[in-house]
Amino acid sequence: MFKGVILGSIPRKWKKKGRMRWKWKKKRRKRLKRAQKRRVGEL
């Protein structure tokens, strides 16, 4: 979406950290969805 703008304004040091953080957010979201499904199944 606006990746180019962000990468352009952030120095190389931060590029990897940002990417890692984004991966964590995605993983966490998947885990939360799974947890919700489990709860629905239990009810």
Percent of the chain residues past pLDDT 70, beyond the cut? 40
First to last CA, the chain: 38
Is the separation of the CB atoms in 6 and 18 below 8 Å? yes
Dist CA 4 CA 35 (whole Å): 34
Dist CA 28 CA 24 (whole Å): 6
Per-residue pLDDT tens over the stretch 18-34: 666 667 677 778 887 88
Check residue 29 and give its pLDDT.
Answer: 81
pTM to 2 decimal places: 0.29
Per-residue pLDDT tens over the stretch 3-21: 555 555 656 666 666 666 6
Check residue 34 and give its pLDDT.
Answer: 81
